[in-house]
Every structure is written in C-alpha cells, then in structure tokens.
Amino acid sequence: MRFAFHFRLIPFIAALALAILGIVLGNWQAGRAAQKQAVQEQLDARAAEPPVALAAALAPAAAAAGELAYRRVTVTGEFVGNWPIFLANRPMAGRPGYYLVMPFKIAASNTHVLVLRGWLPRTAQYGKLPAFDTPAGTVTIEGTVVASAGQVMNLGQAQSVAPGAIVQNIEPAAVAAALKLPLQPFFVQQTGPGEPGETLQRAWPSPSSGIDKHRGYAFQWYALAAMAFLFFVIAGFRPGLRKNGSRTSN
C-alpha cells in the first residue's frame, strides 16, 4: 500500500500553535533554571569569602542586586525591640509559621537595616503571635545580604506596616516611610545560632532551589512541541490514490 502526505491547513495551524507554545514555555523554564544556576554560583563564590562589616552609609538601591548581593556581613548595633514585623505564610518543614523581621540600628549612626531574624511557628490560634526573645543592648550579628524577604500571594487587603503587624510581603521602602528613619534598601538574613536562649530557627531556603524542577518542566514543554510536530506529520500520511481515483491496495 502506498502512502502519500496530505497537507491540511487546520491541523497544521493547531500543531504549529501547540509547538510554538511548547517552545516558548520551555524557553521560559530553561531561563528560570539558568537564572537560579547563576544565583547558586554567586552564592558559592560569596560563601568562600570572609564576612565584611556592614557600613552605616546608605547603599544605593541597586547594591542588593550588585556588589552586596548574597555577601556575608557582620553588623554591630541594637535591635529596635518595639518594632517586630511578622511575615505570614512562611512554612518550614511542612509547618506553618512566620518570618520575624526587625529594624536594627547600626552602631554609631542613625542608619538602620532590616534583619530577618528567623522563623517562628504559628500558634493554633491564627493572629496570636508566637513568643520570642530579643537581645538587649549592643550586639554583633552575622548574616547574608538579600534584596528580598521572598514574595507570597497577598491574601486579602494588605495590612499597613506597623509594630507587631502581620503582613504577607514587605519592602524596605515601606518600613523606612513608617519608621521615618534612614534604612538600608535590603535585608540582612541572620545566620548562626544567635544569642543564648533564642528559639528562632534559621534554616533559610536557598534562593537557587528548584533548578532541576525547572529543567524538568522545560523538557516536558519541549517534548510537547516535538510531539505536536510529529503528530501532524504522521497523521498527514494517508493511503495513496491511483490515477483513476481508487485507493491502492496490497
């Protein structure tokens, strides 16, 4: 039996659209994997560097994504103990909880920086804040400069920034406006055990996590594009016709 390829416009358009969609989404996922791979390489390079003392001079807004990105720093000063902020919907090891954020006044200056102090479990009663301790007086902490505390979906109307507020997301500019004090345009993600008696957990998720997941998604989208093309080609072959118009047979 002879087979001949028969071009059909509508199946071609459908296959082409599906193939383009697969390639576009595959490229997007591959790009996300490449971005996270670059972050991982930057993290590895900065992890090998000794920590530097964080200067009190205000850094430019782009510093957290440039020369200060993921740099290990030490900073001496004191926590603004009456200004805790709780970032909601931050699970850890499958448990619901909060990230505790507090302004930190850098010693011998009026400059502040937001410190991500750690994770606290959520109590059974939502809105009842978990207990935590704040070291008094001058302390030196170590951490990593990060541009963001992470973004989650805003549920309901965003709450204004205030002492003791439970918010979904936060930006240094909003806290600076509420504090009316100079504030560095980034966060210091505190590392290490902290002060004796602290109950905060600091197993921070890596910003580069999920590289293999993105690569797997990219492969699936590229495979979909290839399947759309192959299906169009294979489905286009039909038994050929004789010159008299009848179908050929064995």
| 179 and 127 share one domain | yes
CA 58 centroid distance within chain: 25
Residue 133 lies in a domain: yes
Residue 195 lies in a domain: no
Residue 90 lies in a domain: yes
Cα distance between residue 91 and residue 93, in whole Å: 7
The residue to which tokens 């505190």 are assigned: 190
| 169 and 139 share one domain | yes
Cα distance between residue 110 and residue 130, in whole Å: 29
| 117 and 222 share one domain | no
Residue 96 lies in a domain: yes
| 55 and 28 share one domain | no
Looking at 155, 190, 225, the residue that finishes a domain is 190
User: Looking at the 3D structure of the chain, how many domains does it have?
Assistant: 2
The residue to which tokens 């590289």 are assigned: 211
| 163 and 78 share one domain | yes
| 186 and 82 share one domain | yes
Domain that holds residue 91: 49-190
- Residue range 70-80: mean pLDDT, rounded: 94
| 93 and 120 share one domain | yes
| pLDDT at residue 195 in the model | 61
| 173 and 61 share one domain | yes
- Residue 197 clears pLDDT 70, i.e. is over it: no
| 180 and 71 share one domain | yes
CA dihedral angle for residue 109, residue 173, residue 83, residue 153, rounded to 10 degrees: -150
| 181 and 95 share one domain | yes
Residue 84 lies in a domain: yes
| pLDDT at residue 250 in the model | 45
Cα distance between residue 3 and residue 135, in whole Å: 81
- Residue range 201-222: mean pLDDT, rounded: 82
Per-residue pLDDT of 166-195, as tens digits, reads: 999 999 999 999 999 999 999 999 997 666
Per-residue pLDDT of 117-174, as tens digits, reads: 999 988 767 667 888 989 889 999 999 999 998 888 776 666 788 999 999 999 999 9
Per-residue pLDDT of 83-107, as tens digits, reads: 999 999 999 888 899 999 999 999 9
Specify the pTM: 0.72
- Residue 246 clears pLDDT 60, i.e. is over it: no
Residue 230 lies in a domain: yes
| 9 and 76 share one domain | no
| 72 and 96 share one domain | yes
